[in-house]
Amino acid sequence: MAPNRSLGRDVHFYDISHPHKPLGGLLLTPSFTERTFFVALEILIISDSPYEVYLRGTEMPLSPTEEPLQPGEYDIKPASPHGNRLH
């Protein structure tokens, strides 16, 4: 059996249509910013339409700023109601 690679990660991100199945995760470092998170998602996520990222339980989308990324679970949602699913 393969080891659980998610142990120790303090950020997990999800496609909102599958909120209990993480797409991935990471271990935060002090220099990891919200902007860095967006850059990483652009590399990892294939989407035909724009998407927004929310810290789970909040209603304000994340912005690519130099603010440190907070630990937690992040939901990735299509920016429009007719957006495509993430891959």
* Tens digit of pLDDT at every position of the chain (87 positions): 555 556 678 999 999 999 999 999 999 999 999 999 999 999 988 777 889 999 999 999 999 999 999 999 999 998 876 655 555
Ordered DSSP codes for 18-65 = STTSEEEEE---TT-BHHHHHHHHHHH---SS-EEEEETT--SPP---
Give which of 31, 76, 71, 13 is closest to 50, Cα–Cα.
Answer: 76
Domain, as residue range, for 51:
11-78
Q: What are phi and psi of 44, to 5 degrees?
A: -90, -30
Residue 40 maps to which CATH number? 3.10.20
Record the tokens describing residue 29, joined without a space: 């470092």
Q: Tell me whether residue 2 is in a domain.
A: no
